[in-house]
Amino acid sequence: MKRMLAVLALTTALVCPGLAMARPVTLTTTLKNYGGNGAYVAIYLTDAKGAYARTLWVAGRKAKYYEHLSDWYRATGGRGAIDGITGASVGSGRTLEVSVELADALFDAGYTVHVDTAVEDMRDAPNEIAVPLTKAASGQTVPGRRYVAGFGYRL
């Protein structure tokens, strides 16, 4: 029993480093008027080595289209745990604003926020945004290459 508790404590600590020090972060993604159907958007983190770490949000509910968010799809095998962090696809010219809990330890630790986008019958835009996750960058907005007019996060 004691051993079990220790294992539990260990795994919990590994999975949620500094759970007590998590803070809400607002992710804002504004799309251009690209003149197409609603865009699928995946926002996710990679660690300092470039390895996939965690999915923050997926806009668009039809799993059959996820392959078009190709970097994220390949990183997660298309079977990423996304329960509770999915919403509707984002229309042309609309803004997606979501709030996620991020541990303090993730900031300024070499993590990168990525945004993949895709629109039906238009070109896919994997890794359209890649910005380092730092406290200093809070409130700043960066433009994307294809569909994203501006992306930023706010602590």
Partner 1 sequence: MIRTAHRWPGIAALALVATLSLSGAALSVFPAAERLVAPQAAPGMSVAELAAGLQAAHPGIEQIRRAPSGRITAYWTDDGVAGSAVIDPVTATAVAAAAPDPLERWLTNLHRALFLGDAGRIGAAGGAAIMLLLTLSGSLLVARRVGGWRRWFRPLRGPLPGRIHTEMARLAVPGLLLSSVTALWLAASTFGLLPDQGAPPRPIPPASGLTGAPVAEIPALVSIPVASLRRLDFPAAGDRTDVFTLKTSQGTGYVDQGTGATLGWSEDGWWAQASETVYMLHTGRGVPVLALLLGVTALAVPAMGATGLAVWLAARRGKPRVTGNAAAAPAETVILVGSEGGSTWGFAATLHRALTRAGQLVHVAPMSSFDPARTTAARRYLILAATYGDGAAPASADRFLDRLAGMAAAPAAPLAVLGFGDSGFPDFCGYARRVEAAARAKGWQPLLPFATVDRQSPQAFARWGSALGAALGIALELDHRPAPPATVPLTLVARREFGQDVQAPATILRFAIPGTSFAACLSGSGFARFQAGDLLGIVPAGSAVPRFYSLASGSDDGFLEIAVRRQAGGLCSGQLTTLPCGGKVDAFLRRNPQFHAGNAATPLVLVGAGTGIAPLAGFVRANTRRRAIHLIFGMRHPDSDFLYGDALTGWLADGRLATLTTASSRGASPRHVQDALAADPTAILDAVRHGGRIMVCGGRAMAAGVAEAIARLLERQGLSLAQLRTEGRYVEDVY
Residues near partner 1, by CB under 8 A = 35-37, 50, 61-64, 67, 70, 73-74, 77-79, 88, 120-124, 126-127, 145-146
- For residues 70 and 138, which CB has a smaller minimum distance to partner 1 in the complex? 70
- For residues 60 and 152, which CB has a smaller minimum distance to partner 1 in the complex? 60
Closest of 154, 119, 141, 155 to residue 30, by C-alpha: 141
Q: Minimal distance in Å, beta carbon 121 to partner 1?
A: 4
DSSP secondary structure letter of residue 141: -
Q: Minimal distance in Å, beta carbon 93 to partner 1?
A: 15
Q: Minimal distance in Å, beta carbon 46 to partner 1?
A: 11
Under 8 Å between Cβ of 30 and 5:
no
119: amino acid identity, one letter: V
Radius of gyration of the chain from its Cα atoms, rounded to whole angstroms:
16
- For residues 48 and 155, which CB has a smaller minimum distance to partner 1 in the complex? 48
**Could you tell me the two tokens for 45?**
């983190």
**Could you tell me the two tokens for 93?**
């010219």
Q: Minimal distance in Å, beta carbon 13 to partner 1?
A: 27
